[in-house]
Amino acid sequence: MIVARTRAELVQARRELEKKVGVVMTMGALHAGHVSLLRAARAESDHVIMTLFVNPLQFGPNEDLATYPRTWAEDLAIAEREGVDVLFAPTEAEMYPGGPPAVRVNPGPVGEILEGASRPGFFHGVLTVVLKLLHLTRADASFFGEKDFQQLTMIRAMVRDLDLDVDIVGVPTVREPDGLALSSRNSYLSAEERVTALALSRALAAAAAVGGQGAGVALAAAGAVFDGTPGARPDYVVVTAPDLGPAPEHGPARMLMAARVGTTRLIDNAPLTL
Ligand code: PAF
């Protein structure tokens, strides 16, 4: 018999009761970025659960819930090919049987900046559905892309602050050969906008190249790329600490940005050293 005297011991004992379950949460429209999450989960877990749910709670009234790409047949084929053991694809009524939930996770102050400032209520919606899916799957590990860096940071904070028994694994962003970060929303871009959208990854590269000269110089380098690409309108471009706190004078940092190209809003981020 195991006697657990600390929370950590209890958590460990619970885990040894069954084989390791990894979960990959998605909203479908799967691309190579999702495939890399599924492969990371497969490599580190005995069983893989994938969830597919376009969560209405995280879409604002003027956002793209109705038009969000839905590619069920392709998604099913990818899940099968990648060895997913259980695919959980609930309806909205199944996830929210009482209608939109009255009780939601409060993301705290970091949930109000960057994506949270542009998209009020977004992180309440994300964290609420992630918490529900963690409970439903009872996963030991959950895999999220660094592409949504603020989301990954907020999920780690929720796990820490609410004592959730799950490992959160961040998986590097997958990019097209020309640098464009993969996103289900890239399917909205015309051929011309697809070229304009390269401003984001080029701005990140320009900033990283001069990071050693400080955050101000890095921001100016990113700004110059956007100034030279009139079709890409930045929403925000910031340098922060790796945990989204204030940028340090020197050392590891993160640049995060959002920009509109036509009617499509894209986000990207990358590490840089100041
Ligand atoms: O990153 C996403 O696709 C979504 O925000 C998530 C984590 C599946 C929650 O709906």
Ligand 1 neighbours, Cβ below 6 Å, are 25-27, 55, 58, 126, 129-130, 148, 151
- 118 CA → ligand 1 middle, Å: 17
Residue 136 has a pLDDT of 87
Residue 1's pLDDT band (boundaries 50, 70, 90)? confident
CB 265 within 8 Å of CB 257:
no
Point out the ligand 1 atom lying closest to the alpha carbon of residue 53. Answer: 10
- 126 CA → ligand 1 middle, Å: 6
Residue 185 known to bind ligand: yes
How far apart (Å, rounded) are the C-alpha atoms in residues 148 and 33? Answer: 11
Residue 29 known to bind ligand: yes
How far apart (Å, rounded) are the C-alpha atoms in residues 87 and 81? Answer: 12
Residue 10's pLDDT band (boundaries 50, 70, 90)? low
Q: What is the Cβ-side half-sphere exposure of residue 222, based on CA atoms within 13 angstroms? A: 31
Residues 6+ apart with CB under 8 A from 188: 64, 262, 263, 264
How far, in whole angstroms, is CA 62 from its chain's centroid? Answer: 21
Residue 96's pLDDT band (boundaries 50, 70, 90)? very high
Q: Give, using CA atoms, the residue closest to atom 7 of ligand 1.
A: 25
Provide the sign of the torsion angle of the four alpha carbons 73, 75, 80, 86, taken in this order: negative
The candidate with the shortest Cα–Cα distance to 49, out of 83, 18, 12, 96, is 83
- 129 CA → ligand 1 middle, Å: 8
Task: Report the range of poorest mean pLDDT among 40-49, 58-67, 84-93.
Answer: 84-93
Give the model confidence (pLDDT) of 107-155 as tens digits.
999 999 999 999 999 999 999 999 999 998 889 999 999 999 999 999 9
Phi, psi of 225 (to 5 degrees): -65, -45
**Which CA distances in Å does 4 have to 7, 9, 20, 143?**
7, 5, 20, 28
Give the model confidence (pLDDT) of 231-264 as tens digits.
999 999 999 999 999 999 999 999 999 999 999 9
Among the options 34, 124, 135, 250, which is catalytic? 34
The candidate with the shortest Cα–Cα distance to 232, out of 190, 208, 196, is 196
Percent share of the chain, pLDDT over 70: 95
Residue 86's pLDDT band (boundaries 50, 70, 90)? confident
Residue 182 has a pLDDT of 98
CB 33 within 8 Å of CB 173:
yes
CB 173 within 8 Å of CB 147:
yes
Residue 14's pLDDT band (boundaries 50, 70, 90)? low
pTM of the model as a whole: 0.93
The yes-or-no answer on residue 34 being catalytic is yes
Point out the ligand 1 atom lying closest to the alpha carbon of residue 55. Answer: 10
